Chain A
Amino acid sequence: MSTGGDLSILILTEDSGEAGYSTILALTGEMLHLVDPDATRDGIEFEPIDNEEARRALRGNAWKDEGPDAHQTSTALARSIATKLLEDDGLVLFHIDGDRRWSDRKASENLKKFKKSFEVRIRQLLAGKLGDGKAIEARMSRLVILAPFYSIESWLYQNTEAAIRLCQKHHRGKDVDRFSAWREDRGLLDEELKPKKQVCLADRHNRELAASGFPAAEVHAAGKSFKDAIEALRKCAHLVAGLACLRRPPRTT
């Protein structure tokens, strides 16, 4: 840590919607709190900053691009990630959907493709600066994949209290029973295919679901993909050390 314990975290999401970034940013706050409940977020810098130009220049789904400018956009993304990993305080959290049920997670083509085709490019960029071996692996350990199964809604709909409220307010309570069942057994949502298509909320309220009372501890207790993501964060020594530097001083009476 070169700047007194500050962390600079690049947050990337596959969700290209207007609320994609702010949703994953809010969820990240909840996740970091689970990793270290005593750490304050005041010393954490999140990138890209929440403005349209930055989001357009740095799309988290650019690694899958196939259009005429795919080489440029995916290269720009790989270079941004490698740059952040090389910064003293840098860390990258990357949301990639599993696109499978949790019980079928080993067959996730999305994650396999990311590791096989895109992580390699990041390693190559790091190798150009660090040589080979341990130094590269140390930096790569700062790239943490947050992979909900099936998709980000599999986590967001766990905020059943807010989901039921929104469902009653906007959709006459059409799917209240469904949300209630997910509340009773929080392990169910990870086994749903395309949850966004199954209930009335779709992805219209994602930011609110992430930012208003998300029950992170309960979702973690349910195990499965959210817990897996938390454990991946806890295994990131750089993040853990950085958060430890950001703990609030003990109160004195």
Chain B
Amino acid sequence: MDLVEKRVGESYEIYYFGNLKFLFTRRDGSIINHDLLSYGQKRLLTFFYYLACNQDVVVADELVNGLHHTWISACVQAMGARQVFLTSQNPLLLDYLQFDSADQARSTFITCHSKAEEDRERLLWSNMTKKDATSFFRAYKAGIQHVGEILQTKGLW
């Protein structure tokens, strides 16, 4: 991190830091900076930096894009007890979610559908119905299908 500006007043000093750099040691001992990371590695780094700066809430769009599946697991674990808002078109993320009840499943998922209304298309956001949540949780408890599979085969996604 570089000191990019310093302001000095009569009774104070303000220091501005920038040009944050992350350095990584590779298996062969060589050191690279973050510019040389892959697309997925950069996303992973950015997400962990974001988590470090936000202790209570996470908002992330398409979190799993470009991430190795073990990194997705690491991200989900690192989010911990934060209130989390995630969007995903990828079943991989959903497959890491865990549920203890149908009510929890109902409150976890908000699905987005497009619907034609008169001469325009609208996006409708909704939780599952109680019936759908019960059906989902029953299948989830059976322990064979992944979460994404259940949602797809029940027409919930």
Q: A residues bordering B, Cβ < 8 Å?
A: 8, 45, 47-49, 51, 53-55, 57-58, 76, 79-80, 82-84, 86-90, 125, 128-129
Contact = CB atoms under 8 A, between A and B. Distances in A.
Contacts of B144: 79, 82-83, 86, 125, 128-129
Contacts of A82: 142, 144
A83 B154 contact: no
A98 B39 CA distance: 52
A47 B154 contact: yes
19 contacts: A8-B135, A45-B135, A51-B155, A53-B152, A53-B157, A54-B153, A55-B155, A57-B152, A57-B155, A76-B149, A76-B153, A79-B145, A80-B153, A82-B142, A83-B144, A83-B145, A86-B144, A90-B138, A128-B144
A129 B145 contact: no
Contacts of B143: 86, 129
Contacts of B152: 53-54, 57
Contacts of A84: 139, 142
Nearest to B157: A53
Contacts of A49: 154-155
A83 to B, nearest CB: 4
Contacts of A83: 139, 142, 144-145, 150
Contacts of B155: 48-49, 51, 53-55, 57
Interface of B: 131, 135, 138-139, 141-145, 149-150, 152-155, 157
Contacts, number: 56
B142 A54 contact: no
Interface of chain B, main secondary structure: helix
Nearest to B146: A79
A47 B145 contact: no
A54 B154 contact: yes
Given A48-B154, A49-B154, A79 B135 contact: no
A48 B153 contact: yes
Nearest to A2: B138
Contact of B149 (A48, A80, A86, A129): A80
B57 to A, nearest CB: 31
A48 B153 CA distance: 7
B54 to A, nearest CB: 34
